[in-house]
Amino acid sequence: MRNRRRGAVYVAIVTVVFAASVMPAFSQTAARVSDPGAAKTSSTDEVSLLKRQVAEQQKEIEALQATMKAMKDKIDQGASAAQSASPQAPSLGQVASLTPVVPVPLDPKSGAASAPPLKPIAHADAAPVTQEQVQGYTKRVDTLEKSVQTLNKGLAGLRFSGDFRYRFDGIWRTANSAGGPQQNARERYRLRFNVDKTISNQFDAHFQLGSGVFNNPLTFDTDFAGANNRGPLFITEYWGSYHNQHVDLRGGKMPEVFADNSRFFFDDDLRLNGFQETAKAPLGRHGRVEFRAGQYVLTNPNVPILPSATACTPAPGATLPANCAYLAAGFTPGRKVRDTNLFDQGIALIGDIKEGWSQQFITNIQLWRNPNGIQLASLASGFPVLVNGYYGVQVSSGPPETGTGTTTPGGSIFTARRFQVGRINYRITHTGWKTSRQNVPVWLDLQASNNFGVGFARSAWMGTISIGEVKKTGDVRFLYQYGVKDANSMIAQVTDDDFGTGTGVNIRTHGIRLDLGINKFLEWDTKLFIQDPMRGSDPARRLFVTIPAGVNTLYRVQSEFNVKF
């Protein structure tokens, strides 16, 4: 839109130049023709007079061109300053005024338009603007205006964004009598492309395309592998929402309503199908309260009646029904298999302490229905029924990151009869100290949870401190966190798979992160995770874990470039 304003000013200036250069000569010639004495002037004198007038007009044209160049530079400088000062670009729907900015007086004798003599403004290293350049400016402005109109119609108000991440990911662990070695050094990439559409001031829609794999809901990464085959592209998230100043209602596939990218409970790549609601109200002058709730569907078995125990008893040469896998997960023979669901609800208190300081307190409780369906989907006996049926294709395995305690080694029934997980979270934030190079905000985050559905190995907690932020070239951010997640505290298949590599729970982990800003759109991040298991299997308590205590320390290094667009 600023280009349209500039184009209007340039057209007005060109009009003035044309009037100043042509109209005076035309009016003088017309006056001589109407004067009887002028007809007696010889042809030679007439030609000489015209030459002098042309020379004078050429000088005036050059002076006006220099003035026009100076005015153009001032307009460009003003537009650049306005653009730098304004936090947001103007709407494409705004229309610039075309009112002339240079008044054109009338000649007192002829009544024709003429421009007053203008003094050229000195401009360092400014070359005179030729008429070809003026015409070029005009054509470019017209072309740009048509392009913007066409683009605006074609995009229909859609907004695009995304990011690309190129990562080195290395995992190392030495072997001992308690567990074998691990070694996996690989290159990985992640691509995400967002499309947002505002339907009205209260309705909008969003969807995202992203890289990834079929059988791991905890990552959008694709490895450098596959014998040079192409990687897939997925619809990774989508939702429609209604919102106003008091409520936010959303339905689709989306991050969990309490997800905070902290690596404590939910993995930051996890997306769940379902619905969520947030109601907001002011709390004093500088705070607010939010009531949040989410209802999510993780499986759709579509099994109205399970086979009987007799029908699922192995017999020589007999092929068991596929649905017999549900009996091993504790579902009742002859009954319907219901979905696995998550119901999460809680409250968030957010407000300022004093200038520069803010805090938030969140408490919520997660109620899982039929959680054994998640464990079953990870096993060879269950993923052909629960996972392949969803995709409609034959994938190689179910969700990884098993590790929550089970009643038998590698079994499909969790040790915890129920997952009723309460969580509290407190964060205090300082907006930052100013240095000569950057702003340095600081925040401290503390989280703890407890699974009330089991009597032991049920607690988890994490502390995180972050110093700095990355917004421009040379910015630095440092983060340290330490967390403990016991074997029955949460479901491994939904928690972070970097902080809990290979198991998700039954771990003590140090996390260290350093980010460096390359420019506004590119940053370099490096992360180190140092992970140790907490406890071993306990048959007396019907607790079996995948990575027991005594296994050597695991180290994971991730170094990556993130490009945002």
Residue 232 is given by DSSP the state P
Instruction: Answer for the pair 376, 384: CB distance below 8 angstroms, yes or no.
Output: no
Burial 44-82 (b: 16+ CB within 10 A, else e): eeeeeeeeeeeeeeeebbebbbbbbbbbbeebeeeeeee
Q: Are strands 287-297 and 341-354 parallel, antiparallel or unpaired?
A: antiparallel
State the pLDDT at residue 178. 92
Domain ranges in the chain are 2-155, 158-301+338-564
- Of the candidates 399, 181, 209, the residue with the CA atom closest to the CA atom of residue 298: 399
Lowest-confidence pick of 106-120, 292-306, 502-516, 551-565: 106-120
pLDDT in tens, 18-29: 555 445 444 454
Mean of the pLDDT values across residues 410-417?
94
Task: Report the run of H or E that residue 144 belongs to, with start and end.
Answer: helix 131-155
Q: Higher confidence at residue 500 or residue 34? A: 500
Print the SS3 string covering 371-405: CHHHHHHCCCCCHHHHCHHHHCCCCCCCCCCCCCC
pLDDT in tens, 49-108: 666 766 777 777 777 777 777 766 766 665 555 455 544 444 444 444 444 444 455 555
Q: Is 74 helix (H, G, I), strand (E, B) or coil?
A: helix
With bands split at pLDDT 50, 70 and 90, how would you rate the model's confidence at 394? confident
Q: What angle do CA 433, 438, 443 make, to 5 degrees?
A: 45
State the pLDDT at residue 30. 43
Token digits for 361?
A: 């307190």
- Is 2.40.160 the CATH number for 158-301+338-564? yes
Token digits for 71?
A: 């005015």
With bands split at pLDDT 50, 70 and 90, how would you rate the model's confidence at 38? very low
State the pLDDT at residue 511. 98
Q: Higher confidence at residue 15 or residue 355? A: 355
Mean pLDDT of the chain: 83
State the pLDDT at residue 302. 87
Task: Report the run of H or E that residue 342 belongs to, with start and end.
Answer: strand 341-354
At 476, phi and psi to the nearest 5? -130, 145
Token digits for 499?
A: 């902080």
Separation between Cα atoms, residue 384 and residue 391, nearest integer Å:
10
Q: Is 16 helix (H, G, I), strand (E, B) or coil?
A: helix
pLDDT in tens, 160-213: 999 999 999 999 999 999 999 999 999 999 999 999 999 999 999 999 999 998
